[in-house]
Amino acid sequence: MIYFDNSATTVPYDEVIDTFSEVSRSYFANPSSLHPLGKEAERLKEQARRRVGSLLKVKPEELVFTSGGTEGNNLAIKGTAYRLQTRGKHIITTGIEHTSTFEACQQLEKEGFTVTYITPDDTGRITKDQVEQALTEDTILVSMIHVSNELGSVQPVQDTGELLANYPKILFHVDHVQGMTKVPLDFKKAGIDLCTISAHKFHGLKGTGVLYIRSGITLTSQFSGGEQEGGYRGGTENLAGIVAMAKALRLSIEASNSGIDHIKQISSWIEKEVSAIDGVVLNSPRDRAPHILNFSIPNMKPEVVIQALGEKGIFVSTKSACSSKQFTPSRVLLSAGFDEPVAASAIRLSFSFENTMEEAALFTEIFKETVTSMKKVVKF
């Protein structure tokens, strides 16, 4: 098996699964219970919070445990909008956001908020100047994805944070789900107020994540039913998932020391080989995030290519897994100015530190054979 769909989800580390299993067995009590077993579970949860805070270089009390990126993005965006709506009702985001951000903003528009969707250039990037030009007296939030989950383009988070430091009443939210452990980001240095990460993108388990909320900021909760997680997330905490996430984050950060250069090598080699195939169009920018490579084969249905590769034990994707079952042109690529045939035929490869150059070589060999075979039945 060759698994090149790590931006959809990563394979959990064995140690992470072991941790989840052990915590599930030995610390099964509800962390909110007052008896000794509950207190023990609570202590373990707070220990995990301190560990994650240390790894992210933030205060433990600035972290809210969530179910993942979608919940984190919704809490950050809607929680800010509802909290600050008496101050202003204007939000700035980009045209290449993850669906969870894009649709949250669309919902807010229906409720009377105004949203500016900044159009990226053909590399999938926006600029600090575009953000500055979009600011108004009513702006309360700028929400920006750090690494595009489809193109791998990296947004100017640090520059934007420096700009917004001059506007202390505007909050800055960053969707760091795809960048975590692959593209380093210092939350404090970048002036970030709110930041989303998700465990299953760095070899943790699905259903766990973190929203960083800078000290001094208060959001409107999206849940009712309890005071867990500072009142932001009512409901019994997924203790085993939280502790396993802390381990996955530590292991992935350690692996990134040499792993980033490793996946750069894999990605660059495949880019060179794939670009040489007649009819293939490279979509990702050259200076993209190291783990994402996007290209198109116009006139070929990507789902057919993906199924053909899957039958040979190779697993890749089209666009974001949250949208991949919708056989429509990629909204992200269209926003970046790609024409419809390219946006409708995009294929995304995404790598982890566990992938190898041997897998890359075998992939390119099989991919070339697959495309050549399909060209015989597709008019170019």
DSSP codes of every residue in 312-370: TTEE-BSS-TTTTTS-S--HHHHHTT--HHHHTSEEEEE--TT--HHHHHHHHHHHHHH
pLDDT of 225 reads: 83
CA–CA separation, 188 vs 177, rounded Å?
Answer: 17
Q: At what angle do helices 357-375 and 239-275 cross, to 10 degrees?
A: 60
Domain 2-8+257-375 = CATH 3.90.1150.10? yes
pLDDT of 377 reads: 61
Residues 6+ apart with CB under 8 A from 318: 302, 303, 306, 324, 330, 346, 347, 348
pLDDT of 374 reads: 83
Strands 171-175 and 139-145, bridge-based pairing: parallel
Contact (CB, 8 A) for 152 and 292: yes
pLDDT of 249 reads: 98
pLDDT of 245 reads: 98
Give the CA radius of gyration of the chain: 21
- List per-residue pLDDT tens for the chain, 380 residues long: 999 999 999 999 999 999 999 999 999 999 999 999 999 999 999 999 999 999 999 999 999 999 999 999 999 999 999 999 999 999 999 999 999 999 999 999 999 999 999 999 999 999 999 999 999 999 999 999 999 999 999 999 999 999 999 999 999 999 999 999 999 999 999 999 999 999 999 999 999 999 999 999 999 999 888 889 888 998 999 999 999 999 999 999 999 999 999 999 999 999 999 999 989 999 999 999 999 999 999 988 999 999 999 999 999 998 654 544 556 899 999 999 999 999 999 999 999 999 999 999 999 999 999 998 887 665 54
Output phi, psi for 325, to 5 deg.
-85, -5
Output phi, psi for 110, to 5 deg.
-65, -20
pLDDT of 372 reads: 87
Q: State the DSSP H helix or E strand holding residue 173, giving kind and residue range, or none if neither.
A: strand 171-175
Q: In 3D, which of 82, 48, 58, 40 has the Cα closest to residue 229?
A: 48
pLDDT of 319 reads: 67
CA–CA separation, 125 vs 135, rounded Å?
Answer: 18
pLDDT of 324 reads: 45
What is the secondary structure of 59-112 as a DSSP string?
Answer: -GGGEEEESSHHHHHHHHHHHHHHHHTTT--EEEEETT--HHHHHHHHHHHHTT
Active site (annotated) includes residue 195: no
pTM: 0.94
In degrees, rounded to 5, the angle at the alpha carbon of residue 10 between the alpha carbons of residues 271 and 77 is 95
Q: Which of 17, 37, 321, 322 is catalytic?
A: 322
User: How is residue 247 written in tokens?
Assistant: 């381990």
Contact (CB, 8 A) for 353 and 295: no
CATH level 2 (architecture), domain 14-250: 3-Layer(aba) Sandwich (3.40)
Q: What is the residue extent of each domain of the chain?
A: 2-8+257-375, 14-250
pLDDT of 226 reads: 82
Q: In 3D, which of 257, 160, 211 has the Cα closest to residue 56?
A: 211
Residue owning tokens 């991949």: 324
pLDDT of 247 reads: 98
User: How is residue 295 written in tokens?
Assistant: 């290209």
Contact (CB, 8 A) for 153 and 284: yes
Contact (CB, 8 A) for 196 and 72: yes
Give the CA diameter of the chain.
70
Contact (CB, 8 A) for 296 and 283: yes
Contact (CB, 8 A) for 109 and 92: no
N-to-C CA span, the chain: 31
